[in-house]
Chains A and B, each alone.
Chain A
Amino acid sequence: MAEHQDHSEDHGQAHYVKIWAILLVLLIISVMGPIVAPHIAAGFLKAWMITLMTAFGIAVVKAYLVAANFMHLNIEKKYISYLLATMLTLMLLFFSGVAPDVMKHQGQNWENIAAKSEIERGLEEEAARAHGEHGEHGGEHDDAAH
């Protein structure tokens, strides 16, 4: 009986360790994604698409694995899932309502001059830095080790 209990305990803990191992494999894929993406990009499959999938697609899978297996959302009462889904829906509502004003910098009757000048200033600084680095270091990036 005790032996049976020990066996079931090992099985329960082994499940959590297995989920953790899967999470680590997914972490490695997400870190390697931007490094290997330029090498495997071909045709319509662009490097940024691969990075997007390995970064955010995997983040969603990792979050699901933690929520379902570690937080036990898969065996929790449905009330909790509905509660969390409602909050996420509110976030989507917030995003869809506010994003057009933030992501666009002009409309029919308005213009976000501050945002436009900030973008211009940032891009000019970047271009100047890139130009300076090409001149001083022959293309080496001074922050490569950072």
Chain B
Amino acid sequence: MSTTRPIATTRSATGIPTGKLAVWWVIASEIVIFGGLLASYVMHRLGHPEWAEYASHTNIWFGGTNTFVLLTSSLFAVLAHYAAEHGDGKRAAKWLLGTCGGGFVFICVKAVEWTGEIHHGYTITANGFWQFYYTAAGLHGLHVIAGCIIMLIIANEARKGKELHRVELIGIYWHFVDIVWIFLFPLLYIAK
């Protein structure tokens, strides 16, 4: 049985650990995905004056609550990283579970919000504004769900004191998801 590690995990031209570098590249590609979507939204919003009326039906309190939830979950994620850095896997796992709880609350708030909007006839096929709204918020929601699943796997390992460096990696991803929402919030809920 070979005990050598793959070259990819030991070689580093940048001086950044390979796993962390990979996460940063994922984020770089995500910037293009979300950036392209948001840039397209902005140009359509500026070119379509009638969208102001459509946008007036989004509820700022739902958006504000979810911003609070994500900012708080980001705090939990960085505290998990802090605990992992100090070798406290069990504490890191607890903070990660708290972060996941934030993600769960976020999705629940979204579910209630969307149910009300769909009930009022604001569906994805209603017009261009609602198409962007559901696509951007939906894609972001999928990232929240994916982050929670990965976080639960990492928390399970961290609880046993294993692979603690991964706590930082999922934290970086989670903070990025938070930043995307920081821009979605004014675009979809405040600019009316």
Tell me the A residues contacting B by CB distance below 8 Å. Answer: 9, 12-13, 16-17, 19-20, 23-24, 27, 30-31, 33-34, 51-52, 54-56, 58-59, 62-63, 66-67, 69-71, 76-77, 79-80, 83-84, 86-88, 90-91, 94-95, 98-99, 102-105, 115, 118-119, 121-123, 125-126, 143, 146
Contact = CB atoms under 8 A, between A and B. Distances in A.
Contact of A118 (B25, B32, B128, B192): B128
Interface string B172-191: 10011011001101100011
A146 B48 contact: no
B107 to A, nearest CB: 19
B39 interface: yes
A19 to B, nearest CB: 8
B47 A103 contact: yes
Contacts of A84: 24, 27-28, 31
A86 B59 CA distance: 34
Interface of B: 14-16, 24-25, 27-29, 31-32, 35-36, 39-40, 42-44, 46-51, 53-54, 56-57, 59-60, 64, 67-68, 71-72, 74-75, 77-79, 82, 86, 116, 120, 127-128, 171-172, 175-176, 178-179, 182-183, 185-186, 190-192
Contacts of A19: 75
A95 B25 CA distance: 22
Given A66-B74, A83-B24, A115-B47, A30 B68 contact: no
Closest 3 CB pairs of A and B: A122-B50, A55-B186, A91-B35
A31 B71 CA distance: 15
A12 B179 CA distance: 22
Contacts of B47: 102-105, 115
Nearest to B192: A34
Nearest to B58: A146
Contacts, number: 150
Contacts of A123: 49-50
Given A83-B28, A91-B35, A103-B43, 20 more contacts: A13-B79, A20-B71, A24-B71, A34-B60, A59-B182, A62-B182, A63-B182, A66-B182, A70-B175, A77-B14, A84-B28, A86-B28, A87-B28, A88-B35, A91-B32, A102-B47, A122-B127, A123-B50, A146-B59, A146-B120
